[in-house]
Structure 1
Amino acid sequence: RSASATATGLGPAVARVRRAWGQRGEELGRVLEQRELVLDSLPNPLLLLDGESTVVEANRQARELFGPDLTGRSVESVLRDPGFLAAVQTARDTETSRDAEFVLAGRVARNLSARCEPLSENAPGAARVIVSIHDLTEHRKTEAMRADFVANASHELRTPLSTLIGFVETLKAGDEDEAARNRFLGIMHEQAQRMAALVNDLLSLSRIELHEHSPPTGRVDLAALMAELADILALRAREKDMRILLETGLESGPESDRTGQVVAGDEEELTQVFQNLLDNAIKYGRAGTSVDVSIRRRDQGPAGLGKTPAGVIAVAVRDHGDGIERQHLPRLTERFYRVDTARSRKLGGTGLGLAIVKHIVNHHRGVMTAESEVGEGSTFTVYLPAAPGESK
């Protein structure tokens, strides 16, 4: 055959090979694309490292954590933590799994855990170690809060217990006269009541936390509830020459107290919320002033409340006291946090009241806000979703 004939005969074969390679390339592209989609769909950051500890692949979560340009970089340039690098090297060299915990610095420090798993692939440039990273920040915060809680609770109980033990030993000696014994017994009774209040609040907080994620199913008329609480606490307010002024925002009429201000809730828990807020307003309000309570229906509440198809009912409790400095406001619902420790204890506070309020409000899918101006007083507002079917 002539060269031209041979070339003509090879033409279709070359075309077929070219088409086959093209199809293989497309298939490989689809496989790689699917692999990338799978890696990006994983919830945790993932790094694939070769035998030189160079990043050969990183999923979207890893790029968001460490930066966009990871492929081709040495892992040392991505993260310099010695414990992490040692875990990577051990997993690569000994083909055994290793874990490491480290703190990633930034605007907000994050506690992270890395799981380094060896891979058996031996092809040049192939991944040898897969690194999966888990965020432990919230877990560590919870552990720290739990430790602080135990320490604070122990301290709060130890103080009255020490007082009781001291007076018991004094009374056992029998050297005191009747007046002194009565005074000691009065102090002991006061300290025992303080411990009982603290234990009750601890039990209440524990009980609320157990079912905080299950919304209540009852119905509570907030206007009627607040009117009842105002009557109950009126005597305590009069002892400080104070008044509780209730404004429901409802038109007068025989049915007005039963429409428009009903929420889905647990009456006992909501009673605890508003009794606590009213009690605080009386405690910290100035003598001769009022505690102003308003109940208003709104189409929507503050950010964080979520969707409320039936609208929102806002209950605001305002006192006219010394007020609270701005830096204290975000921490008021922390357990055992007190703006003025001595004053709070003198007034009988356990340091858990607003923490309990926060958890109950969360249980009702609501939000509480606190506003204050030094020298003018404070306003605590509870926003609760209105019960479905209530008229606006």
Structure 2
Amino acid sequence: MTRLIPVDALPIPVMLIDADQMVGAVSPALTALLGPKLVGRHFITALRQPTLLEAIETVMQSGAPNKSQYLGRDGARDTTWDVTIVPEGRSVILTFEDRTAAQDVGQLRRDFVANVSHELRTPLTALQGFIETLRGAARDDPKARERFLGIMERETTRMTQLVTDLLSLSRVEEAERLRPNTAVNLGALIAGTLEDLGPIISDSGMKVTLEDNSAGVHVLGDSDQLRQVIANLVQNALKYGADGEKVEITVDPPAAFRKLRGLGLAFHVRDHGPGIAAHHLPRLTERFYRVDSHRARGQGGTGLGLAIVKHILNRHRGRLHITSTVGSGTTCTVVLPLAD
């Protein structure tokens, strides 16, 4: 004889509705989802969602299994549950499957496509307009032609950079779970990256200083990706801290970091520009998020740089912390675990 497992012993959200349409039993997981004191209530007062209630009534009448959804709330976010409704004699059994993560991924994908489409549509529309003008009214106007060609060059450069950043982000995400295992001299890597950025620093008219207190200590990392992190933070400081006169990079001595659960090495990139309002700080690493979208686009920004930095540091089990005071500049701090 088959032994039936009681509903309250199941680890997933389950509800049993008796023949009298009252809730006969619920699992602890469902109590956590819907709240206490469900047993003995009519299923309509326990669930209260018309689409789900209609699906349950259909099963009661037809005797055939059915599916529906339950929309809940978990703290600050909405949750989505697939509900399978199966008849069991004169009773009905509901099982709930959490689909929130899948819904979030789908929404992230949709938002990503929408953002990429928007970022490409603007320059492509501009290029189309300039081409039509050059073929028509400006065909024999050398000054207008040169001005339009300059704008077209900037727009194509920005689109090229956007595609490059998208490919870079894709590669970083693909390797995010593979922790690097190479010892890297962080101080030397920063110094070498600043040499590579020499022409950009020179064109900015700003001074970049480096104070290395690491004493040659190594971190565990991928040197190419860490160079990308350093270059991105320095270029951001040069672009958006341009109202100041210098960018300061400081590498601290090794120290213990609670979030790393061990020893780490921190470096800071500080500019003396206009700063960033506090409400923007939590969103700076989101894809395509810009504090000042018009200014960022004008300076060639794609809105993906800090998202790439975040994913690289996730792979390295590192941390990024951004602090800023309006009128006093911005500081980006990166912490990386030491190599053994």
TM over 0.5: yes
Residue pairs, 1:189-200, within 5 angstroms: 189-200=153-164
Counterpart position of 1:177: 141
Displacement, 1:188? 1.5
Matched residue, 1:275: 231
Q: Per-residue displacement from partner, 1:287-311 (whole Å, max 9, x unpaired)?
A: 5522122223221244xx5x44xx1
Quote the offset at 1:141 in angstroms.
2.6
- Structure 1 residues 78 and 227: alpha-carbon distance in aligned structure 2, compared to 1, 3 A threshold: same
1:88/1:116 contact within 8 Å kept: no
The structural deviation recorded for 1:210 is 1.8
Report 1:286-325 matches (<5 A).
Answer: 286-287=242-243, 289-296=245-252, 297-302=254-259, 305=260, 307-308=261-262, 311-325=263-277
**2:56 match: secondary structure:** helix
Residue 110 of structure 2 is matched in structure 1 by 147
Give secondary structure in 2 for the equivalent of 1:184.
helix
Residues matched between the structures, number: 336
Q: Name the residue aligned to 2:220.
A: 264
Counterpart selection for 2:53 from 81, 85, 100: 85
Q: CA deviation at 1:358?
A: 1.1
Helix, strand or coil: the match of 1:208? helix
Q: Cα distance 1:235–1:327, how it changes in 2: closer, same or farther (>3 A)? A: same
- Greater shift after overlay, 230-239 or 293-302? 230-239
Q: Distance in 1 between matches of 2:45 and 2:80?
A: 17
Percent sequence identity over matched residues?
Answer: 42
**Paired AA for residue 269 in structure 1:** Q
**Within-5 A mapping of 1:92-107:** 92-105=60-73, 107=75
Q: Write the mapping of 1:1-392 to structure 2, written as runs, cut at 5 A.
A: 35=6, 38-39=9-10, 42=11, 44-105=12-73, 107-121=75-89, 128-173=91-136, 175-250=139-214, 256-257=215-216, 260=217, 262-287=218-243, 289-296=245-252, 297-302=254-259, 305=260, 307-308=261-262, 311-387=263-339, 389=340
Deviation at 1:236, TM superposition (A): 3.0
Counterpart secondary structure, 2:94 = strand
RMSD: 2.3
Partner SS state of residue 48, structure 1: strand
TM-aligned CA distance change 1:295 to 1:282, over 3 Å: same
- Answer yes or no: is the 8 Å Cα contact 1:217–1:265 preserved in 2: yes
Give the distance between the partners of 1:62 and 1:200, measured in 2 at CA: 47
Tell me which amino acid in the other structure corresponds to 2:167. Answer: L
Distance across 1 between alignment mates of 2:73 and 2:99: 14
| Greater Cα shift, 230-239 or 58-67 | 230-239
- Cα gap change, 1:106/1:206 in structure 2, threshold over 3 Å: closer, same or farther? closer
Larger Rg: 1
3-state SS of the aligned residue for 1:117?
strand
> Structure 2 length normalisation: TM-score?
0.90
Shift of 1:336: 1.0
Q: Structure 1: where are the runs of 5+ without partners?
A: 1-30, 123-127, 251-255
Change (3 A) 1:114 1:172: closer
Structure 1 residue 144: Cα displacement:
2.1
Q: Which amino acid aligns with 2:301?
A: G
Aligned partner of 1:90: which letter? Answer: T
Contact 1:264-1:386 within 8 A present in 2 as well: yes
What's the counterpart of residue 15 of structure 1?
Answer: none
- How much has 1:377 moved relative to structure 2? 1.0
Runs of 4+ that moved beyond 6 A: none
Contact residue 8 and residue 28 of structure 2 kept, 8 A: no
Contact 1:112 1:133 in 2 (8 A): no
Go from structure 1 to structure 2 and tell me whether the alpha carbon gap of 1:288 and 1:82 turns closer, same or farther (over 3 Å shift).
closer
With structure 1 as the length reference, what TM-score do the two structures score?
A: 0.79
The SS at the match of 1:299 is strand
- The CA deviation at 1:113 is 2.3
For 1:48, the aligned partner's letter is: L
